[in-house]
């Protein structure tokens, strides 16, 4: 009861029943960024589309009960990123204009495992919620391919998600990982649906990784693991920034019954302190020393709302006001900021929740919106 009261206090002045049942922010994002099923990131002159953008849009369309948009996004992704069959190959992560030929197409055929995981999850949950066997089947086959092609078993017996199918194995027993790529609720869902597979191991192993790489309560963007031990990344070092902000987002959105939520939320207390001190989540942190720099953008504030809602409702309300004041929703040059906002605001507005088994609980599935 106390938690729900805190969440209510965080967004009560911002919320209406109409917004709950008809997600106006998704409709605005769709209008600005989604064209014929393709999510366009206009911040890049090549007008790129990433599998990340497609995966998030699939999830948001499901949350909004937008079957037409979901179908369009799925079909575009399958045809243009996966050679026409998502059950047969992992999607390419980058599509856009080739500046040498002025033609549009795949720019990098490597995969991005976080996107693949969100696509598989969204398809599986769409199959359940909409009773669509085709979506559910494709999601299952994609999930199986992720396990085969994008995971690795460490020497200590822990299975971890590689960031992509290629390029992240640095040598024998030496890998490059991204802590924000494997949301625990998605891994939990897969482990419940497919208990005989490696998802359960990866769920527990991901939590173990997070506790090892945040000695000061801040997540790095990237890490190296060698023989089961974690080290700073060779390229990004100990910096936590635009990747790592999602780590706090995923933890904040965990179901209260998840056995790891309290542990991880308590570990992240320094991020809450830094946000209070700066007036916003820091754009960059040193995950080893705990030092941080200037405030992040409105998307950073939105990403922290779920975490703040259960710890500091007044700070949550202040960050919500910051999002409303600073978020740029017009045009299509602020893609990443807006997807972070859709996650954070959508959760705060109770557009969706994740159940104790990782299942999606969209607001439209309740009697309130029937």
114 is catalytic: yes
Buried b (16+ CB within 10 A) or exposed e, 141-165: bbbebbbebbbeebeeebbbbbbbb
Residue tagged 């014929």 (tokens): 36
Active-site choice (41, 114, 312, 359): 114
The secondary structure of residue 366, as a DSSP letter, is S
**Contact (Cβ atoms closer than 8 angstroms) between residue 164 and residue 111:** yes
Determine the Cα–Cα distance for residues 55 and 158; give it in Å rounded to an integer: 26
Q: Where are the alpha helices (DSSP H) in 131-268?
A: 133-149, 184-193, 199-213, 245-252, 261-267
**Contact (Cβ atoms closer than 8 angstroms) between residue 219 and residue 179:** yes
Structure tokens at 59: 């999830």
Active-site choice (41, 52, 66, 312): 52
**Contact (Cβ atoms closer than 8 angstroms) between residue 173 and residue 153:** no
Angle between helices 335-348 and 51-63 (to 10 degrees): 30
Q: Where are the alpha helices (DSSP H) in the chain?
A: 2-11, 17-21, 24-33, 51-63, 67-81, 113-130, 133-149, 184-193, 199-213, 245-252, 261-267, 269-278, 298-309, 313-326, 335-348
Dihedrals φ, ψ of 282, to 5°?
-65, 145
Residues annotated catalytic, as ranges: 52, 114
């Amino acid at each position: 009861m106390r938690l729900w009261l805190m969440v209510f206090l965080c967004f009560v002045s911002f919320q209406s029943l109409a917004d709950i049942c008809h997600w106006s922010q998704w409709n605005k994002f769709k209008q600005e960024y989604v064209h014929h099923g393709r999510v366009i990131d206009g911040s890049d002159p090549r007008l790129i589309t990433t599998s990340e953008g497609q995966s998030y849009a699939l999830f948001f369309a499901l949350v909004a009960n937008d079957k037409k948009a979901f179908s369009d996004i799925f079909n575009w992704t399958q045809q243009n990123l996966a050679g026409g069959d998502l059950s047969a190959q992992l999607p390419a992560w980058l599509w856009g204009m080739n500046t040498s030929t002025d033609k549009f197409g795949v720019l990098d055929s490597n995969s991005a495992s976080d996107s693949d995981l969100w696509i598989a999850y969204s398809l599986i949950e769409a199959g359940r919620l909409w009773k669509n066997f085709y979506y559910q089947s494709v999601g299952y086959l994609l999930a199986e391919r992720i396990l085969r092609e994008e995971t690795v078993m460490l020497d200590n017996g822990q299975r971890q998600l590689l960031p992509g199918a290629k390029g992240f194995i640095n040598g024998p027993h030496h890998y490059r990982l991204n802590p924000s790529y494997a949301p625990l609720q998605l891994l939990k869902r897969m482990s419940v649906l497919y208990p005989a597979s490696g998802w359960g191991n990866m769920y527990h192993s991901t939590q173990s990784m997070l506790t090892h790489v945040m000695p000061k309560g801040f997540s790095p963007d990237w890490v190296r693991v060698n023989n089961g031990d974690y080290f700073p990344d060779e390229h990004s070092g100990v910096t936590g920034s635009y990747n790592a902000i999602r780590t706090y987002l995923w933890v904040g959105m965990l179901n209260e019954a998840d056995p790891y939520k309290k542990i991880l939320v308590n570990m992240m207390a320094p991020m809450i302190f830094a946000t209070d001190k700066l007036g916003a989540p820091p754009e960059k942190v040193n995950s080893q020393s705990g030092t941080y720099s200037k405030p992040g953008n409105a998307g950073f504030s939105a990403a922290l709302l779920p975490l703040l809602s259960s710890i500091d409702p007044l700070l949550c309300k202040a960050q919500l006001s910051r999002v409303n004041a600073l978020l740029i929703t017009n045009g299509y040059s602020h893609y990443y900021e807006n997807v972070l906002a859709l996650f954070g605001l959508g959760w705060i507005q109770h557009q969706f929740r994740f159940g104790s088994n990782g299942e999606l609980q969209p607001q439209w599935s309740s009697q309130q919106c029937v």
